[in-house]
Structure 1
Amino acid sequence: MTSLGFLYPGHSAEDDYPRIEQLLGSDIRLDLVHTDIGEDAHRVDALRRMGAPERLAAGVEELRLIGAESVVWACTSGSFVHGWEGAHDQVRALARAAGMPASSTSFAFVHAVRELGLRRVAVGATYPDDVAGLFADFLHTAGLDVTGVRGAGIITAAEVGTWGEQQVLALAREADREDAGAVLLPDTALHTASCLPALEMELGKPVLTANQVTVWEGLRLADRRVNAPELGVLFRREPLVQA
């Protein structure tokens, strides 16, 4: 049994994780510990406080007791708002506190895009435009070409968590660009585990979503690879090769 640990802020779309665990269909357990979200606001100052070292460190002892082999800070905006170097500092501190390999959803997106052999991506973010722009900046620093950014202007994770499949599909369609090799939907408060095949069929290209890449990153840290096509192109064994 491989146990993967996740620090998930608050309560919005955490039910994606048991759904993904079921779809993995393997000897893999996804263990969530909820962190204190503080102020629920897609605002830079609030997001920086949400990902503060002491908030993340508070959850790692429970993950150690569970027997987790890796830990991922399951939050995109609470990592990329610190910038490229700050996000690295964040996961280094988390790894030291947890005593195991660590990462975050922001880095999961970068690693997943590289895994698929892609470079050009479009972003469909639930966030206000300024926060969505910071994610694009993060991806640019990683060497990716962001061909377009669509922000939905939602302030709270609680509201994002109420979105259904049709709203998710609409955001992905609005964000898509012809020259993008994939569309990224960066918010772990967004339910996407049940609609990944529909997203990729609708757009005709890979769609990477926050909870999906977060689990994939945990598997990568634990040196596990799982073939689960229901979770999208990313979970097929053969990587897609494209410029």
Structure 2
Amino acid sequence: MAMLYPGHAAEDDFARSESLLGGAARLPVIITDIDSDDHTVEAMRAVGADVPLLDGARRAAVHSPDALMWSCTSGSFLYGWERAHTQVQRLTEATGLPVSSTSLAFVAACRDLDVTRVAVAATYPAPVADGFTTFLSDAGIEVLANTANDIATAGAAGLMDDATVTSMIVAADHPAAQAVLVPDTALHTIARLTELEGAVGKPVLAANQVTVWQGLRLAGVAVTEPALGTLFA
């Protein structure tokens, strides 16, 4: 399957995922064009516009993928529940492939784990983080706590150190939450999922993790890999 990824921040998480999966799937990354990696509503909606996505999908064809993932959370949830589905449907119509996005993958992962109450550890400023809460609520998932950490850009999120990421997730947790969701695909998480889950004592669903999981499902690949967290156990 191929991963459409906006700009540069934590796209190397997919190479790490491919290594952990031991050859079960190839995860080539196609970088889509962006004008800005600012964590603003306007900039993040722009990365999910038709032109960069359809161009990325065209370039993905060289890999002959079985499925396509729009590997961006804010560039899908900021369009709302219904239009996020329209977004991937356009990609399906253009490519003939099964397509999903990171935002839709979060919902699918929660449903697979019977998770209905969550806490959110968002790198984003509040206006963007609030959009994720609305998206989840429209999908029937209750957000008990939504912590906005005001990281200004995707690039800055990609440079966050391990201790800061762990502290962010622990601080965002809520005692009644069944899982902690970490929505930014610009954040490096793949190498540390079991450690992060140990820090909060519950599943941690991170953006790049759920993106890989959903893509594998679309491609018809079944794989178990505990290093990728509860979702893959």
Q: Aligned partner of 1:168: which letter? A: V
Report the counterpart of residue 134 of structure 1 in structure 2. 131
Q: Cα RMSD over matched residues?
A: 0.9
Q: CA deviation at 1:27?
A: 2.8
Aligned-partner Cα distance in 2 for 1:53–1:104 = 14
Aligned-partner Cα distance in 2 for 1:161–1:198 = 18
* 1:167 corresponds to 2:164: yes
* 1:20 corresponds to 2:17: yes
Q: CA deviation at 1:89?
A: 1.1
Q: CA deviation at 1:228?
A: 0.3
Report the counterpart of residue 41 of structure 1 in structure 2. 38
Please report the TM-score for the alignment, with normalisation by the length of structure 2: 0.98
Q: Aligned partner of 1:96: which letter? A: E
Deviations 1:33-90 (A, max 9, x none): 0001211211111111110011100011222221101001000001001011111111
Deviations 1:137-156 (A, max 9, x none): 00000001111100101121
Aligned-partner Cα distance in 2 for 1:31–1:106 = 20
**Higher alpha-carbon deviation: 111-120 or 55-64:** 55-64
Q: Secondary structure at the match of 1:28?
A: coil
Q: CA deviation at 1:98?
A: 1.9
Aligned-partner Cα distance in 1 for 2:24–2:131 = 37
Report the counterpart of residue 70 of structure 1 in structure 2. 67
Q: Runs in 1 of length 4+ with deviation above 2 angstroms? A: none
Please report the TM-score for the alignment, with normalisation by the length of structure 1: 0.94
Q: Is the 8 A contact 2:40 2:128 kept in 1?
A: yes
Q: CA deviation at 1:130?
A: 1.1
Q: Aligned partner of 2:216: which letter? A: L
* 1:52 corresponds to 2:49: yes
Q: Is the 8 A contact 2:184 2:207 kept in 1?
A: yes
* 1:229 corresponds to 2:226: yes
Aligned-partner Cα distance in 1 for 2:43–2:131 = 14
Which of 89, 93, 98 is the equivalent residue of 1:92? Answer: 89
Deviations 1:85-106 (A, max 9, x none): 1111111111112220001000
